[in-house]
């Protein structure tokens, strides 16, 4: 396996060559070069060619004259910081800190883990009533990572980290079978803007640590410096890691790694946003768009031989940004029941910044609805030899992608599998999760989402509805028509005016043809309308993309998948689950695929590899023969060298 483009020679060859004859040096160099070629031969490669597909060529194509700033600033000329990294997150409703400054909200409410055990238990798995695929929830996380980031405090926090750990009840059979009194779910408070939180007139507020625009920041980074590190510097390309012949996200080191097996099988990779390495589904989407960028860059290089690396890179980046915007608004949002008004142009009076309410009640909600596992399928929708994966086995690891020989089987599985219904119930794998080094200890998505709302001063459910202009509820039956859900809410909360906002919005009856209830629907509509209409560089408002608008508007995620993987057929609407390969209507054939035998990652069995191996053996035999001849008369050899 190689990391990056550098391949270091074997250590023995790095020694001094003094005392070797020119002949011996020549044959050893030749042997090493052939050995290097043999090592780098693909064993599980992506197609070297696909049937011809669009590279967004245009007669009006030109090198970009206007580009976004990576940090999101300068989009709005009059308000340069709107949408920029570290700008203040908005509040749509008044804060509810206990002291009106910074203390955790609602200290009188029940322990979040107890509420989770009472309300969020999933007794029966309920698939999406809309038939949404697991790819849908992955795209939701992919986009939310692009537009929002609020970090928890770490050791660099001035004055020390503020701990707000969630106590695990002594009778919690899953998390506390030993009835230990001080068991807890780790929770550290959210990092806040240091100039806030010192008075009632200046309560604690939070920064959005990435730009609010849909700009591919999780691919390209919000920093120009880190973006430069992600670039190869040639042909407008982004860096990739060659893992047994297929493209993976860039490796954390440039020196080669000898093996992906052994005591530590996880290679260290990096992306524009590390959250896209959280699970193999997000990593697959990251790889997909890195490949798409490089595919578009190759097309640009062919059409414009006079363009330099910077011009090609920026045009390819602009196209990828447009693709992500188009897929999100024309395919993803309609699939979940969000229908915006038709685009009418840029509005400079609109601030796109995300709201505290959207982040806490919508962005964090979707991840809990993913399917309980990672299906792994080949082209015929047969389970791969490595088998399907439990949900936890796909988190904070890349080893399963490496062992599978690429991202294709994960993508097929995500398009096949149906995500869970968006409701208050959480699958056991995410409600009772023993996590690894990234967080440590027990995790409960439901309890932690409740705690996060209290941490950030989010008001109660009824006050939230009133603040958004919706009617207050007067009974638990006004929230949900499900009698069981009503009883669970009444068990956890004394009345409808004392409900955590997260639980309230998740318990609401879903609207027709939507994954959301009334409150979440309003928050999501409002947020995505503002992100689009307040973006001066929106693809439909970009003069440099005018000739491609129609083509971009017809683009689907299935197009990106077919153009950049060995997948040859898939359902056209990949946000809708499809389990019948005979129903696949979108196709793009592989023109050339490097074949491997045995199906195992790391196995090389090409004719060329065998041939080169034989040549290496013959050369090494020649080296040994020469060495013996030169050692027959060492005194004569020394005299000759002195002469």
- Tell me the mean pLDDT in the region 425-429: 91
CA atoms of 186 and 190, how far apart (whole Å): 13
Q: For residue 642, what are the contacts with CB-CB under 8 A and spacing of at least 6?
A: none
The confidence score (pLDDT) of residue 598 equals: 33
| pLDDT tens column, 198-234 | 999 999 999 999 999 999 999 999 999 999 999 999 9
DSSP tally for the chain: helices H, then strands E: 22, 12
Mean pLDDT of 372-378: 94
DSSP letters, 248-290, are ESPBS-SS--S-S-SS-----B--SSGGGGSBHHHHHHHHHHH
Q: When comparing pLDDT for 196 and 43, which is higher? A: 196
pLDDT (0 to 100) of residue 23: 39
Neighbouring CB atoms inside 10 A of 118's CB total 17
Which domains, ranges and CATH numbers included, belong to the chain?
Answer: 42-54+76-101+122-155+172-198+206-303+312-456+520-605 (1.10.640.10)
68/400: higher pLDDT: 68
> Which whole number is the average pLDDT over 121-150?
95
Tokens 């005194």 correspond to 635
Over residues 608-616, mean pLDDT: 42
CA angle 41, 249, 237 (to 5 degrees): 85
Q: What is the pLDDT of residue 436?
A: 56
Choose between 594 and 116: higher pLDDT: 116
Helix (H) or strand (E) holding 167: strand 166-167
The residues pairing with 269 across neighbouring beta strands, listed in sequence order, are 251
Mean residue pLDDT of the chain comes to 85
Report, as an integer, the average pLDDT of 54-69. Answer: 94
| Closest among 449, 569, 443 to 506, alpha carbons compared | 449
Q: Which residue has the higher pLDDT, 334 or 35?
A: 334
Residue 76 pLDDT exceeds 60:
yes
Instruction: Provide the pLDDT confidence category of residue 396 given band limits of 50, 70 and 90.
Output: confident
Local structure of residue 339 (DSSP, 8 states): -
Nearest to 45 by CA among 408, 544, 316: 408
User: Once rounded to an integer, what is the mean pLDDT over residues 437-453?
Assistant: 85
pLDDT bin (cut points 50, 70, 90) of residue 51 is confident
Instruction: Please say whether the beta carbons of 320 and 293 come within 8 A.
Output: yes
- Whole-model pTM: value is 0.84
CB–CB of 535/213 below 8 Å?
yes
Residue 536, pLDDT above cutoff 90: yes
Task: Give the mean pLDDT of 557-565.
Answer: 97
Q: Is the pLDDT of residue 354 over 70?
A: yes
Q: So what's the pLDDT on residue 628?
A: 45
Of the two residues 14 and 613, the one the predictor is more confident about is: 613
- 402 has pLDDT over 80: yes
Residue scoring higher pLDDT (602 or 58) = 58
Under 8 Å between Cβ of 269 and 280: no
Q: Percent of the chain, pLDDT > 90? A: 71
Q: Given pLDDT bands bounded at 50, 70 and 90, which one contains residue 440? A: low
- Higher-pLDDT residue of 49 and 587 is 587
Query: Taking residues 347-362, what's their average pLDDT?
Result: 98
Q: What are phi and psi of 460, to 5 degrees?
A: -75, 170
């Amino acid at each position: 396996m190689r990391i990056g483009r550098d391949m270091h020679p074997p250590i023995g060859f790095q020694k001094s060559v003094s005392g070797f004859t020119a002949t011996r040096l020549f044959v050893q160099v030749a042997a090493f070069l052939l050995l290097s070629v043999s090592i780098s031969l693909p064993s599980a490669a992506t197609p070297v060619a696909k049937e011809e597909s669009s590279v967004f060529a245009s007669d009006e194509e030109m090198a970009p004259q206007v580009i976004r700033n990576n940090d999101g600033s300068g989009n709005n000329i009059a308000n340069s910081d709107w949408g920029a990294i570290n700008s203040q997150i908005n509040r749509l409703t008044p804060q509810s800190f206990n002291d009106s400054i910074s203390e955790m909200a609602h200290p009188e409410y029940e322990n979040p883990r107890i509420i989770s055990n009472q309300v969020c238990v999933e007794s029966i798995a309920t698939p999406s009533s809309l038939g949404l695929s697991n790819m849908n929830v992955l795209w939701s996380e992919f986009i939310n990572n692009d537009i929002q980031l609020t970090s928890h405090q770490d050791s660099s926090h001035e004055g020390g980290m503020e701990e707000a750990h969630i106590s695990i009840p002594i009778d919690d059979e899953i998390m506390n079978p030993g009835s230990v009194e001080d068991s807890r779910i780790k929770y550290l408070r959210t990092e806040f803007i240091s100039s806030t939180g010192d008075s009632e007139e200046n309560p604690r507020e939070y920064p959005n640590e990435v730009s609010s625009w849909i700009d591919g920041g999780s691919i390209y980074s919000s920093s120009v410096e880190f973006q430069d590190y992600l670039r190869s510097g040639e042909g407008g390309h982004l860096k990739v890691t060659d893992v047994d012949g297929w493209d993976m996200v860039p490796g954390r080191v440039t020196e080669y790694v000898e093996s992906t097996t052994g005591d530590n099988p996880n290679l260290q990779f990096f992306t524009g946003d590390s959250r896209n390495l959280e699970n193999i589904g997000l990593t697959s989407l990251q790889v997909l768009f890195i490949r798409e960028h490089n595919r578009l860059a190759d097309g640009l290089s062919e059409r414009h031989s006079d363009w330099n690396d910077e011009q090609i890179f920026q045009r390819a980046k602009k196209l990828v940004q447009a693709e992500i915007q188009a897929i999100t608004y024309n395919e993803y949002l309609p699939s979940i029941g969000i229908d915006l008004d038709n685009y009418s142009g840029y509005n400079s009076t609109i601030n796109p910044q995300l709201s505290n309410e959207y982040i806490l009640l919508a962005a964090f909600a979707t991840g809990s609805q993913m399917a309980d596992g990672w299906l792994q399928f080949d082209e015929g929708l047969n389970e791969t030899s490595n088998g399907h994966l439990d949900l936890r086995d796909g988190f904070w690891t890349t080893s399963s992608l490496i062992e599978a020989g690429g991202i294709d089987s994960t993508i097929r599985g995500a398009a096949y599998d149906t995500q869970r219904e968006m409701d208050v119930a959480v699958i056991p794998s995410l409600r009772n999760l023993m996590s690894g080094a990234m967080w440590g200890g027990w995790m409960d998505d439901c309890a932690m989402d409740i705690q996060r709302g209290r941490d950030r001063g989010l008001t109660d459910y009824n006050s939230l509805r009133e603040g958004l202009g919706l009617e207050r509820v007067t009974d638990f039956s006004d929230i949900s028509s499900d009698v069981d859900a009503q009883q669970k809410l009444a068990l956890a909360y004394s009345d409808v005016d004392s409900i955590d906002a997260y639980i309230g919005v998740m318990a609401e009856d879903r609207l027709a043809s939507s994954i959301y209830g009334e409150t979440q629907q309003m928050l999501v509509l409002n947020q995505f309308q503002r992100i689009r209409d307040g973006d001066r560089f929106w693809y439909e408002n970009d003069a440099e993309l005018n000739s491609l608008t129609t083509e971009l508007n017809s683009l689907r995620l299935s197009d990106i998948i077919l153009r950049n993987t060995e997948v040859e057929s898939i359902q056209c609407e990949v946000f809708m689950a499809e389990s019948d390969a005979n129903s696949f209507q979108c196709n793009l054939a592989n023109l050339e695929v490097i074949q491997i035998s045995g199906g195992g990652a790391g196995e090389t069995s090409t004719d060329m590899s065998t041939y080169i191996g034989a040549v290496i053996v013959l050369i090494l035999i020649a080296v040994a023969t020469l060495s013996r001849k030169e050692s027959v008369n060492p005194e004569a050899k020394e005299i000759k060298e002195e002469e």
